[in-house]
Structure 1
Amino acid sequence: MIRVEALPAQEGDCLWVEWTHQGRVHRMLVDGGRGGRGGTLPAGLAARFARRPVTERVFDLVVCTHLDADHIGGLIPLFRHPPEGFAAEDVWFNGDRQLLGDVLSYAQADALSRLLRDQPWNRWFAGRQVEVPDSGELPVVPLPGLRLTLLSPTSRTLVRLGRDWTREVARVERQRLAPTPEADPDVLRGGDAGLTWDELTDAPYQRDESLPNRSSIAFLAEHEDGSRVLFAADAHAETLRAGLRRLDGTPWGRPYRVDLCKVPHHGSSRNLSPLLLAQLDCRHWLFSTNGARFGHPDRRAVARLVERCERPTLWFNYLSPSTAEFACPELAAERGFTAVHPPEDRPGIDLTVSGGRVAPTDTTAGRAP
């Protein structure tokens, strides 16, 4: 079994993952969301550490998927002022050491790069880039009881990111410092606002062009009991689809079974393509966002997913203006999906994947309409 907690991380990702092997609990942290005020741990991550005894704060792996502020920000205070008992046996992050050699960048990516210099950094990859080669077998990392297969990023993408590192870091830093807008979905959703559901399903797909998103570390996690979770970060749909096509034993044209998918880029319509959906055999989709900054998930992305997947269940870690529409029982019944939200005053959702089934770990963590 794999337990996935999508902690409240504003518009970002902070996924606390646990699984068992030979009677022992193992842990992985995927991203940290935005940092808290004054350089502190974000509230959701701090509260999760507070619920664990000091002796149960060792992680097999911590992953910073890419340099966007809503993924990297909370990891900086984690390594700068670690909670008592915190340790990581390996940390995956494609930072300045991998992309630039000894040339330092700045801002959050520079800060995390400096903090990791004394950590086991990309240890499985011998300190080099966490990357998918352009040909040959996909990298496979065996953790105790859990097998990770890397799907993104590609070598070519990291070459481009290294070339444009300073410019991209500066852009992300400007985004981080920008004030968070009020959560008005009619404003934030741009062209999706006011469209009918049928118009949404017919809307054309436009791909994501963001280089940091393309550099996301995305991977498939398979437990020894057969459970599968796709951690898609903000990866491009085209990169994910190409990786899934390269998985061993996947016949041409047959969708790959995944029990739970962490939806790429918080449900952006630019990262959830019809072809990616056709490549996946998945009924459970996890959305990590409150929508406050960018209005995610995009209505057309949710409509595209619902129309192309058989009776999907949508799991949200926030009940917010950008996700409340999908809590409507009439819409869910008409379109054939189930949506599960946490209470508005207790964001975050905690799921257990076991034997092909996905259910709330704590039945108070989410409610079906």
Structure 2
Amino acid sequence: MGLTITSFEARYGDAFLIEEHVSGIKFLVDCGFKLTYQQHIKKKINSANFIILTHSDEDHINGAFPLIHDCPEKFSLDRVYVNSPESIPIPRNNGVISIRQAKDLVNLLQEKKLPFEGLIQGQTIEVSNNLSLDIISPTQTELDSYYEKYNDHLATVKKNTEGTSISLNSVIKPILEWTKKPDSFSKKSDDIANASSIAFILNFRDKKVLFLADSHPEVISDFLLKQGFNSKEKAVFDFIKLSHHGSEKSISKQLLNMISCNNFIISTNGGKARSKHPSVETIAKLATLVDRNGNDEINFYFNHSISTIETRNGPLLSSEERLLYKINYIEQNEIELS
């Protein structure tokens, strides 16, 4: 056995468990909502070596509260990686972090005396002999902007409760029409929370998995460019966990032209209110623009049923288009790497 990636049913949030079977090491990437912990995580495990909380949006961080409350009596945890002024040993003028739930989390970690630290681009976590994590987001610039521009007022308004505004998939277009649509991602300065997300490359033996959290496409493409990748020399991945649950506002044609992969993970039940995902545009652009790394087919792994997603979100690509472009929708919560 090698490594298992479990994508918990976290509604429209993220919660992943990574288990390396030889070493016995296991860690969580985000914890979804409080019910995600109660209904899924605690039924699967009662200990973890560490947790990476990629950013402070409720659909990623809220499940960490009951988990940490259970430490150490009901849940054993060694360390938490989370970005906050307290976890980055650099002097800051603005004092404590401004997003209320992130500050509440830090207070809880301090109360429980759980070690925590931040992560920025360029760091590497050596998990075991065969497993490491290369941190590719955020940069120090994005992290500084996050601390400077998010204040207590912004934390109480719709920014953290509605998420990015995403249109319903109610407009039926041929797949190539979706491909022609221009990029629609926000400026990094207008999307600070997502631009400061912790994204990383999981290296396991000869396999690479790109975990994008809710990261901004320009942060990722800028990193890849610095590593020497481009439209001719592409970055190859075995799996990519799509940013922001497959939102069209979290991809760019530049990024898609720099990667080679035919397996994409989408964590969502379709979203809520005006925040609907995944976008048909995202799936269409991936299916037509991304190099498939020598494979004929392209696979999209969903941790909720397609019928649930389409009920909430409107129809995805037609069966005829999926057949023509060799697109597979796979309802599967566990992925094995050998």
Q: Could you tell me the TM-score, scaled by structure 1's length?
A: 0.77
**Alignment counterpart, residue 69 of structure 1, candidates 55, 58, 65:** 58
Aligned to 1:51: 44
Q: By how many angstroms is 1:158 displaced? A: 1.0
Q: Alpha carbons of 1:235 and 1:158: their partners in 2 closer, same or farther (altered >3 Å)?
A: same
**Alignment counterpart, residue 202 of structure 1, candidates 180, 184, 188:** 180
Q: By how many angstroms is 1:160 displaced? A: 0.9
Q: By how many angstroms is 1:229 displaced? A: 0.9
Q: Does 1:121 align with 2:110?
A: no
Cα pair 2:99 2:152 within 8 Å, conserved: no
Cα pair 1:100 1:162 within 8 Å, conserved: no
Deviations 1:289-334 (A, max 9, x none): 1123111011111111111133311101112234784585433112
Deviates more, 1:106-115 or 1:211-220: 106-115
**Alignment counterpart, residue 108 of structure 1, candidates 91, 101, 104:** 101
Deviations 1:260-303 (A, max 9, x none): 11001111111111111121111100000112311101111111
**Alignment counterpart, residue 307 of structure 1, candidates 259, 265, 288:** 288
Q: Does 1:88 align with 2:77?
A: yes
Q: Does 1:222 align with 2:203?
A: yes
Distance 2:60 2:119 in 1: 17
**Alignment counterpart, residue 290 of structure 1, candidates 260, 264, 269:** 269
Moved over 6 A (4+): none
Matches for 1:191-270 after TM superposition, within 5 Å: 193-209=171-187, 210-223=191-204, 225-247=205-227, 253-270=232-249
Q: By how many angstroms is 1:175 displaced? A: 5.2
**Alignment counterpart, residue 124 of structure 2, candidates 134, 137, 140:** 140
**Alignment counterpart, residue 330 of structure 1, candidates 320, 330, 334:** 320
Q: Alpha carbons of 1:298 and 1:251: their partners in 2 closer, same or farther (altered >3 Å)?
A: closer
Cα pair 1:168 1:212 within 8 Å, conserved: no
Q: Does 1:321 align with 2:309?
A: yes
Amino acid at match of 2:303: N
Q: Secondary structure at the match of 2:142?
A: helix
Amino acid at match of 1:321: I
Distance 1:214 1:188 in 2: 17
Aligned to 1:135: none
Aligned to 1:165: 150
Distance 1:251 1:329 in 2: 32
Q: Alpha carbons of 1:325 and 1:352: their partners in 2 closer, same or farther (altered >3 Å)?
A: farther
Q: Secondary structure at the match of 1:109?
A: helix
Structure 1 unpaired stretches of 5+: 37-41, 123-128, 133-137, 181-186, 343-348, 355-369
Q: Secondary structure at the match of 2:248?
A: coil
Distance 2:93 2:59 in 1: 23
Q: By how many angstroms is 1:202 displaced? A: 1.2
Q: Secondary structure at the match of 1:18?
A: strand
Aligned to 1:340: 330
Distance 1:237 1:285 in 2: 16
Distance 1:168 1:317 in 2: 34
Aligned to 1:362: none
Cα pair 1:96 1:113 within 8 Å, conserved: no
Q: Does 1:149 align with 2:131?
A: no
Matches for 1:329-368 after TM superposition, within 5 Å: 329-342=319-332, 349-354=333-338
Q: By how many angstroms is 1:10 displaced? A: 1.0
Distance 1:72 1:51 in 2: 18
